[in-house]
Structure 1
Amino acid sequence: MAPNAITPPLKLSLLLLLAISISTQSQPHQLKETNMTLYFQDVSAGPNATAVPITGIPGHLWTFASFGTVYCTDDPMTESIEQSSAQVARGQGIYVTSALDGSTTHVLISIVFTNAKFNGSTLEIQGASQQFEKMREVAVVGGTGKFRYAKGFATLMTVYLDTTIAYAVIQCNITVQHY
């Protein structure tokens, strides 16, 4: 027998191993892309505040522009700019004024969907937000439910601000790819 010859039982074993290997590999899932626009309804004062400072540098005023101030938020997110429009999610998480000059906040927000289409699903937003710029961009770093394995980005733009009543509306345009 030649030294490089493969015997019929060995050939059969290799073919079976190859067939098992091919059959156990799952086909790659097709990524979907979802685009949506939501509006954070942000109230930072009064009995119905949805964003409140929870800590900061002792002896300093805790404000959005004060380095080290940490806010906790649970903003309703609506389908249009009006506060009375249908709520589709809650923007829950924290943000920290992370630049010494107060210009940047580090955002860690979970968008927790409450509407029928995505109920219970989440998108996780994280990143540095230049809070006094007209347009800011942060990363979508994950998701759950209908947004499992999400990745993408969100742009944030303050479309309404009334400092006398501490109320702001932030438009959030989201583009994500997910399975």
Structure 2
Amino acid sequence: MALNFVPKLLLVLAFAAFSTGARRSELELKETHMSLFFHDIAAGPNFTLIPVAGIAGKLWTFAQFGTAFVTDDPLTETPDRNAPIIGRGQGIYVTSGLDGRNTHVLISIVFTNKKYNGSTLEIQGTSKQFEKVREVSVVSGTGQFRFARGYATFETYLLDPATFYSVERCNVTVQHY
């Protein structure tokens, strides 16, 4: 009697695998392009970027190997500091190149605006921080960006060393379902 059960079980498993594949193929792959502006404030009472670890006895800077920064930057659709906030750029940067030229980036773009509220994009990779345009990978996402993959480029839009304020333009291209 047990031998009679095996072919039926195999048929049910094959049908389940086929129907799961059919549903997945019904999903439409979308491509989204967007520009966001990260507002970094590295000093003062409202800072959004801070060094949290580094080599003892060395100055903790972006160019010093081993320095780790935590960030929670407001994101806007324009470079205007007073533009409505559409999300947060939350994560860490670690200067990972011995020569201080590369930073490893782990950033979550957490959307709070109506269009993508609650969705995220996850960015990871090596940023060649002294190049004009830095490219990193978009490795995943949630909400409206499930199964996201793609890339993001960062460019310094504004740098004001006197106030420790900078604006980074982030252009994102992702494919998602």
- TM-score (norm. length: structure 1): 0.87
- TM-score (norm. length: structure 2): 0.88
Find the aligned partners of 1:101 and 1:24 in 2 and give their Cα distance: 49
- Tell me the equivalent position of 2:63: 65
- Tell me the equivalent position of 2:88: 90
Structure richer in helix, relative to its length: 2
- Tell me the equivalent position of 2:22: 26
Correspondence 1:76 to 2:74:
yes
Find the aligned partners of 1:127 and 1:25 in 2 and give their Cα distance: 31
Find the aligned partners of 2:44 and 2:98 in 1 and give their Cα distance: 27
- SS of 1:164's equivalent? coil
- Tell me the equivalent position of 2:3: none
Aligned partner of 2:145: which letter? F
Find the aligned partners of 1:145 and 1:23 in 2 and give their Cα distance: 24
Find the aligned partners of 2:160 and 2:147 in 1 and give their Cα distance: 37
What is the aligned residue count? Answer: 167
Pick one of 26, 34, 49 that aligns with 1:36: 34
Pick one of 116, 128, 131 that aligns with 1:130: 128
Find the aligned partners of 2:153 and 2:34 in 1 and give their Cα distance: 11
Correspondence 1:155 to 2:153:
yes
Find the aligned partners of 1:53 and 1:69 in 2 and give their Cα distance: 7
Correspondence 1:145 to 2:143:
yes
Give me the identity figure in percent.
60
Gap runs ≥5 in structure 1: 1-12
Consecutive aligned runs of 4 or more in structure 1 exceeding 3 Å deviation = 22-25
User: How large is the RMSD of aligned CA atoms in angstroms?
Assistant: 2.0
Deviation at 1:26, TM superposition (A): 2.5
